[in-house]
Amino acid sequence: MLQFLSYIHNLRGIAILFVIGVHARGGISDWVSHPDTHYFLATFFDAREGNGTVMFIFIGGFLFQHLTHYYFNFKKYIRQKFKMIILPYLIISIPIILLRITSNYQSLTLPEGFQSTSPVYQFFYHLIVGSHMAPFWFISTIIIFYFSAPALHAIDKPFFYRYIFPFVFIIGLFTFRSDHNSNPFLSYVHFMPIYITGMWASYVKQKLMTYAVPGFWILAIIYFSVPVLDYYNLLDLPSKISFEEVIRERKLVFNIYAFNSITLCFMLTFLFYRLRNVRMPFIELLGHYSFGLFFIHFILITATRKVFSILGWSVDFSIITFLIYFIFILLASTAMVYLIKRITGRYSRNLIGS
């Protein structure tokens, strides 16, 4: 029987904390009176790559290798992913997409002239791209990983990790996120090296974890040095560019933000490995609820923002009001997942992925 990896499970709990925190934080327009605080939070905890996103991709690759290295049945694998990820995505997405189509929904993710296309085209575009809800591009992208599983399992070999993986890793550091996360295929290409990095980390985990203590401190220095230098403009770091721009203009730009997000993945993996025998009930709960929280949290953010608008309240965060709002969204989302699980029992995974 395969060993349960508590340190990876706890990393998943931290990943969803990052995701909810970034989405609750909003944009610079929500910090009119405190733009410097927004800049600080974005520089140290978002890294322009989305630390939570990178963690989820890294964890996905790590667990894929851990669980399928010795035995892999694609039919069983894709059936499980359909029940736990794809089906909840469809169930949650369909009513939201219908609402978007009938409400003249505007988003930077959508191409020009999108509203003039047929409702059928709009429906399937939203469903395939995940443009109907800001975080749902991730599901559209991760589904491509699921269907790539046979190829990923095929490269899970010593030869690949020893001779090919280093080049894949380096090449990945010169790619960027798709413009407004609007192209699942480019997102897939960009995040694939991170997924494979997770696979490599799992493949060498026994040897890798022997370096957990010195590794944590070395990576912590690296991870915090980059945002400090970025915050004080001491490094000539690339502005926020898209994968489309890189391809169109044939740029060769090192993505230091992706590098730093991967650094954080290893740093926290080492930390949680050292603390693997320490109970962390809330982090463990977030790990169990991670996909349910992913599906629900932004719906709550959208709903609360709508209530603020109806009441005539403008959003102008300070660090205190942001933390209050973030904790409210986190706890309310957790409570909703818990209630849905209690009411629907084993069918909750088909509804919300948890």
Instruction: Give the model confidence (pLDDT) of 124-139 as tens digits.
Output: 999 999 999 999 999 9
What's the rounded Cα separation, in Å, for the pair 173 and 94?
35
Q: What's the whole-number mean pLDDT along residues 60-83?
A: 95
Q: What is the pLDDT of residue 232?
A: 85
Q: What's the whole-number mean pLDDT along residues 161-182?
A: 95
Q: How far apart are the first and last CA of the chain?
A: 23
Encode pLDDT of 25-63 as tens digits: 998 999 999 999 999 998 888 877 889 999 999 999 999
Q: What is the pLDDT of residue 50?
A: 87
> What global pTM score does this model have?
0.94
Q: What is the pLDDT of residue 233?
A: 81
Of 54, 268, 272, 57, nearest to 146 (Cα)? 57
Q: What's the whole-number mean pLDDT along residues 334-341?
A: 96
Pull the structure tokens for residue 103. Answer: 């409400």
Does residue 9 surpass a pLDDT of 80?
yes
Q: What is the pLDDT of residue 107?
A: 86
Q: What is the pLDDT of residue 270?
A: 97
Q: What is the pLDDT of residue 75?
A: 95
Q: Which amino acid is at 155?
A: I
Of all residues in the chain, the percent with pLDDT exceeding 70 is 99
The helix, strand and coil proportions of the chain, stated in percent and rounded to the nearest 5, come to 75, 0, 25
Q: What is the pLDDT of residue 49?
A: 82
Q: What's the whole-number mean pLDDT along residues 310-334?
A: 94
| 329 in Cβ contact with 297 (< 8 Å) | yes
b/e map 288-316, b = 16+ CB within 10 Å: ebbbbbbbbbbebbeebeeeeeeeeeebe
Q: What's the whole-number mean pLDDT along residues 162-190?
A: 95
Q: What is the pLDDT of residue 106?
A: 86
| 183 in Cβ contact with 243 (< 8 Å) | yes
Specify the residue for token string 């730093």: 260
Q: How would residue 1 be classed by pLDDT, with cut points 50, 70 and 90?
A: low
Q: What's the whole-number mean pLDDT along residues 152-164?
A: 97
Question: Quick one: how far is CA 107 from the chain centroid?
Answer: 20
Q: What is the pLDDT of residue 48?
A: 77
Q: What's the whole-number mean pLDDT along residues 144-169?
A: 97
Lowest mean pLDDT among 110-114, 207-211, 295-299, 331-335: 110-114
| 190 in Cβ contact with 137 (< 8 Å) | no
Encode pLDDT of 211-241 as tens digits: 999 999 999 999 999 989 888 888 777 777 8
What's the rounded Cα separation, in Å, for the pair 329 and 308?
14
State the average pLDDT for the chain: 93
